[in-house]
Amino acid sequence: MTSFIEKIVGDFGDKRRWREHKARVKALPASYRTTAEALERYLMYFGSIVKGDVLMSMLEELADLFEQAAADGTPIRAVVGEDPVEFAEMFLANYSDGQWIKKERDRLVEAVARAEEEEGNRS
């Protein structure tokens, strides 16, 4: 029965993880919280991650990073560098398996490989 309900409303574990993540970010000092929330927003819009477990792993790692930086007193710029967009996109690259575009990338690679095979067979 649980699997049917989860198909309708989503994975309960991911929802719990989401709430825990939001509480962790909310507990950060203001400057770290602002940066973490901005990065989260960017990653959610730009990242196009469709797998809930991958999304939550990414957000939990982001929270870990900012909690550790806050605990160590590491300045925000030391965490994200001079270009926060570059930081976000490099961070996101670690989670490309969860992006919807991965399926299309794989499909493209396979199509070109098939075409190359067909080309070799004609020679």
Give 120's pLDDT tier (boundaries 50, 70, 90).
Answer: confident
**pTM here?**
0.71
Residues 6 or more apart whose Cβ sits within 8 Å of residue 89:
46
Domain segments of the chain as ranges: 2-122
Model pLDDT for residues 9-35, shown as the tens digit of each residue: 456 777 888 999 999 999 999 999 999
Model pLDDT for residues 42-98, shown as the tens digit of each residue: 988 887 777 778 888 889 999 999 999 999 999 999 999 999 999 998 888 887 765
Give yes or no for residue 8 having a pLDDT over 60. Answer: no
CATH superfamily, with its number, for domain 2-122:
c-terminal domain of poly(a) binding protein (1.10.1900.10)
For every residue of 18-52, DSSP letters joined together read: HHHHHHHHHTS-HHHHHHHHHHHHHHHHHH-B--H
